[in-house]
Amino acid sequence: MDDISKVWETLVQPEGGTIVYLVLDGLGGLPDPERGQTELQVAHTPHLDQLAAQSSCGLLDIVGPGITPGSGPGHLALFGYDPLIYAIGRGILSALGIDFALQEGDVAARVNFATIDAQGRITDRRAGRIDTATNRRLCEKIRQAVTLSFQGEYVFEAVSEHRAVLILRGPDLSGNLCDTDPQSTGVEPHEPTARTEEAHHTAQIVRSFVTQVRDVLADEQPANMILLRGFDRYRPWPSLADRFGLKGVCVADYPMYRGVSRLLGMEALPPPGGLEARLQALQSCYGDAYDFYFLHVKHTDSSGEDADFDAKVQALEAVDRLIPQVTALEPDVLVVTGDHSTPAVMGSHSWHPVPVLLRARTARIDDVSRFDEYACARGILGLRPGVHLMGLALAHAGRLSKYGA
Amino acid sequence: MDDISKVWETLVQPEGGTIVYLVLDGLGGLPDPERGQTELQVAHTPHLDQLAAQSSCGLLDIVGPGITPGSGPGHLALFGYDPLIYAIGRGILSALGIDFALQEGDVAARVNFATIDAQGRITDRRAGRIDTATNRRLCEKIRQAVTLSFQGEYVFEAVSEHRAVLILRGPDLSGNLCDTDPQSTGVEPHEPTARTEEAHHTAQIVRSFVTQVRDVLADEQPANMILLRGFDRYRPWPSLADRFGLKGVCVADYPMYRGVSRLLGMEALPPPGGLEARLQALQSCYGDAYDFYFLHVKHTDSSGEDADFDAKVQALEAVDRLIPQVTALEPDVLVVTGDHSTPAVMGSHSWHPVPVLLRARTARIDDVSRFDEYACARGILGLRPGVHLMGLALAHAGRLSKYGA
Ordered DSSP codes for A310-371? HHHHHHHHHHHHHHHHHHTT--SEEEEE-SSB--TTTTS-B-S-EEEEEEETT----S--S-
Per-residue model confidence as pLDDT tens digits over A297-345: 999 999 999 999 999 999 999 999 999 999 999 999 999 999 999 999 9
What distance in Å separates the CA atoms of residue B171 and residue B153, rounded to the nearest whole number?
Answer: 10
Please tell me the predicted confidence (pLDDT) of residue B90. Answer: 85
Q: Do A373 and B364 touch (CB under 8 A)?
A: yes
Find, among B290, B373, B281, B339, the residue nearest to B48 by Cα: B373
> A371 and A45 in contact (C-beta within 8 Å)?
yes
* Chain A nearest C-alpha distance from B330 (Å): 18
The single-letter code of the amino acid at B299 is H
Given a cut of 70, is residue B220 above it in pLDDT?
A: yes
* Chain B nearest C-alpha distance from A206 (Å): 23
Query: A-chain residues within 8 Å CB-CB of B4?
Result: 64-65, 67, 84
Please tell me the predicted confidence (pLDDT) of residue A149. Answer: 92
What distance in Å separates the CA atoms of residue B294 and residue B282, rounded to the nearest whole number?
Answer: 9
As a residue count, chain A comes to 405
DSSP A39: H
Q: Is 0.90 exceeded by the ipTM?
A: no
Segment among A252-266, A292-306, B24-38, B331-345 with least mean pLDDT: A252-266
* Chain B nearest C-alpha distance from A350 (Å): 8
* Chain A nearest C-alpha distance from B232 (Å): 29
Q: Do B394 and A66 touch (CB under 8 A)?
A: yes
User: How much is the mean pLDDT over chain B?
Assistant: 95
> Residues of chain A with pLDDT > 90: what percent?
92
- Tell which of B361, B362, B364, B401 to mutate to test the A interface (max A CBs under 10 Å): B364
Give yes or no for a cis peptide into B385 (omega within 30° of 0).
no
Strands B56-61 and B382-385: parallel
Rg for chain A, CA atoms, rounded: 23
User: How much is the mean pLDDT over chain A?
Assistant: 95
Between positions 65 and 84 of A, the ones with CB within 8 A of B are 65-73, 82-84
Mean pLDDT on B262-279:
94
3-state secondary structure of A202: helix
Per-residue model confidence as pLDDT tens digits over B185-205: 999 999 999 999 999 999 999
H or E element that contains A270 = none
What distance in Å separates the CA atoms of residue A43 and residue B296, rounded to the nearest whole number?
Answer: 43
First to last CA, chain A: 19
Please tell me the predicted confidence (pLDDT) of residue B254. Answer: 86
* Chain A nearest C-alpha distance from B362 (Å): 7
Find, among B18, B41, B16, B17, the residue nearest to B28 by Cα: B41
Query: B-chain residues within 8 Å CB-CB of A94?
Result: 405
> A341 and A61 in contact (C-beta within 8 Å)?
no
Find, among A348, A369, A320, the residue nearest to A29 by Cα: A348
> A36 and A46 in contact (C-beta within 8 Å)?
no
Among candidates B366, B382, B395 on the partner chain, residue whose Cβ is nearest the Cβ of A351: B395
Please tell me the predicted confidence (pLDDT) of residue A184. Answer: 87
What distance in Å separates the CA atoms of residue A245 and residue B321, rounded to the nearest whole number?
Answer: 60
CA distance to A115, A141, A325, B77, B104, per residue, from A258 (Å) = 32, 28, 22, 40, 53
Residue A189: band (very low, low, confident or very high) from pLDDT cuts 50, 70, 90: very high
Among candidates A83, A377, A383 on the partner chain, residue whose Cβ is nearest the Cβ of B404: A83
Mean pLDDT on A180-191:
93
> A250 and A261 in contact (C-beta within 8 Å)?
yes
Mean pLDDT on A38-63:
98
Among candidates A71, A352, A382 on the partner chain, residue whose Cβ is nearest the Cβ of B382: A382
Given a cut of 60, is residue A49 above it in pLDDT?
A: yes
What distance in Å separates the CA atoms of residue B248 and residue B399, rounded to the nearest whole number?
Answer: 14
Given a cut of 80, is residue B332 above it in pLDDT?
A: yes
Find, among B194, B208, B126, the residue nearest to B164 by Cα: B126
Give yes or no for a cis peptide into A331 (omega within 30° of 0).
no
> A293 and A20 in contact (C-beta within 8 Å)?
yes
Largest pairwise CA distance in chain B: 72
- Tell which of A59, A67, A349 to mutate to test the B interface (max B CBs under 10 Å): A67
* Chain A nearest C-alpha distance from B324 (Å): 23
> B324 and B47 in contact (C-beta within 8 Å)?
yes
Given a cut of 60, is residue B306 above it in pLDDT?
A: yes
Per-residue model confidence as pLDDT tens digits over A123-154: 999 999 899 999 999 999 999 999 999 999 99
Among candidates B2, B11, B402 on the partner chain, residue whose Cβ is nearest the Cβ of A2: B2
Please tell me the predicted confidence (pLDDT) of residue B101. Answer: 87
> A15 and A288 in contact (C-beta within 8 Å)?
no
What distance in Å separates the CA atoms of residue A243 and residue A237, rounded to the nearest whole number?
Answer: 10
Other C-beta atoms lying within 10 Å of the C-beta of residue B53: 17
Does B391 lie at the interface with A, CB-CB under 8 angstroms?
A: yes
> B84 and B67 in contact (C-beta within 8 Å)?
no
Please tell me the predicted confidence (pLDDT) of residue B88. Answer: 85
Please tell me the predicted confidence (pLDDT) of residue B256. Answer: 85
Given a cut of 90, is residue B96 above it in pLDDT?
A: no
Please tell me the predicted confidence (pLDDT) of residue A147. Answer: 96
3-state secondary structure of A280: helix
CA distance to A125, B37, B43, B44, B248, per residue, from B40 (Å) = 53, 8, 5, 8, 29
Given a cut of 60, is residue A1 above it in pLDDT?
A: no
Residues pairing with A80 in the sheet? none
Among candidates B380, B392, B395 on the partner chain, residue whose Cβ is nearest the Cβ of A374: B380
Mean pLDDT on A379-404:
97
Please tell me the predicted confidence (pLDDT) of residue A237. Answer: 92
Mean pLDDT on B96-105:
88
Per-residue model confidence as pLDDT tens digits over A223-239: 999 999 999 999 889 99
Residue A380: band (very low, low, confident or very high) from pLDDT cuts 50, 70, 90: very high
Given a cut of 70, is residue B395 above it in pLDDT?
A: yes
As a residue count, chain B comes to 405
Q: Do A65 and B4 touch (CB under 8 A)?
A: yes
Strands B292-297 and B19-24: parallel
Given a cut of 70, is residue B1 above it in pLDDT?
A: no
Please tell me the predicted confidence (pLDDT) of residue B93. Answer: 86
Given a cut of 90, is residue B171 above it in pLDDT?
A: yes
H or E element that contains A219 = none
Please tell me the predicted confidence (pLDDT) of residue B152. Answer: 95
Among candidates B381, B383, B391 on the partner chain, residue whose Cβ is nearest the Cβ of A67: B391
> What is the 3-class SS of chain B, one letter each residue?
CCCHHHHHHHHECCCCCCEEEEEECCEECCCCCCCCCCHHHHCCCHHHHHHHHCCEEEEEECCCCCCCCCHHHHHHHHCCCCCCCCCCCHHHHHHHHCCCCCCCCCEEEEEEEEEECCCCCEEECCHHHCCHHHHHHHHHHHHHHCCCCCCCEEEEEEEECCEEEEEEECCCCCCCECCCCCCCCCCCCCCCCECCHHHHHHHHHHHHHHHHHHHHCCCCCCCCEEEEEEEEECCCCCCHHHHHCCCEEEECCCHHHHHHHHHCCCEECCCCCCHHHHHHHHHHHCCCCCCEEEEEECHHHHHHHCCCHHHHHHHHHHHHHHHHHHHCCCCCEEEEECCCECCCCCCCCECCCEEEEEEECCCCCCCCCCCCHHHHHCCCCEEEECCHHHHHHHHHCCCECCECC
Residue B2: band (very low, low, confident or very high) from pLDDT cuts 50, 70, 90: confident
Between positions 2 and 21 of B, the ones with CB within 8 A of A are 2, 4, 7-8, 11
Find, among B30, B214, B223, B382, the residue nearest to A376 by Cα: B382
What distance in Å separates the CA atoms of residue A247 and residue A266, rounded to the nearest whole number?
Answer: 7
Angle at B253 between CA B252 and CA B257, to 5 degrees: 55
* Chain B nearest C-alpha distance from A85 (Å): 7
> Residues of chain B with pLDDT > 70: what percent?
100
Does B382 lie at the interface with A, CB-CB under 8 angstroms?
A: yes
Given a cut of 70, is residue A257 above it in pLDDT?
A: yes
Mean pLDDT on A159-185:
93
3-state secondary structure of A246: coil
Residue A90: band (very low, low, confident or very high) from pLDDT cuts 50, 70, 90: confident
Rg for chain B, CA atoms, rounded: 22
> B110 and B104 in contact (C-beta within 8 Å)?
no
Residue A89: band (very low, low, confident or very high) from pLDDT cuts 50, 70, 90: confident
Given a cut of 80, is residue A241 above it in pLDDT?
A: yes
3-state secondary structure of A228: strand
Strands A19-24 and A333-337: parallel
Count of helix runs (H) and strand runs (E) in chain A = 14, 13
> B178 and B143 in contact (C-beta within 8 Å)?
no
> A116 and A189 in contact (C-beta within 8 Å)?
yes
Angle at B358 between CA A385 and CA B18, to 5 degrees: 110
Q: Do B362 and A378 touch (CB under 8 A)?
A: no
Please tell me the predicted confidence (pLDDT) of residue B244. Answer: 98
Other C-beta atoms lying within 10 Å of the C-beta of residue A46: 11
Does A88 lie at the interface with B, CB-CB under 8 angstroms?
A: yes
Residue A88: band (very low, low, confident or very high) from pLDDT cuts 50, 70, 90: confident
Per-residue model confidence as pLDDT tens digits over B156-165: 999 988 999 9
Among candidates B384, B392, B405 on the partner chain, residue whose Cβ is nearest the Cβ of A93: B405
Does B151 lie at the interface with A, CB-CB under 8 angstroms?
A: no
Q: Do A67 and B405 touch (CB under 8 A)?
A: no
Please tell me the predicted confidence (pLDDT) of residue B98. Answer: 87
Mean pLDDT on A74-86:
96
Dihedral sign computed on CA atoms, order A80, A17, A47, A372:
negative
Nearest residue in B to A385, CA atom: B384
Residue B232: band (very low, low, confident or very high) from pLDDT cuts 50, 70, 90: very high
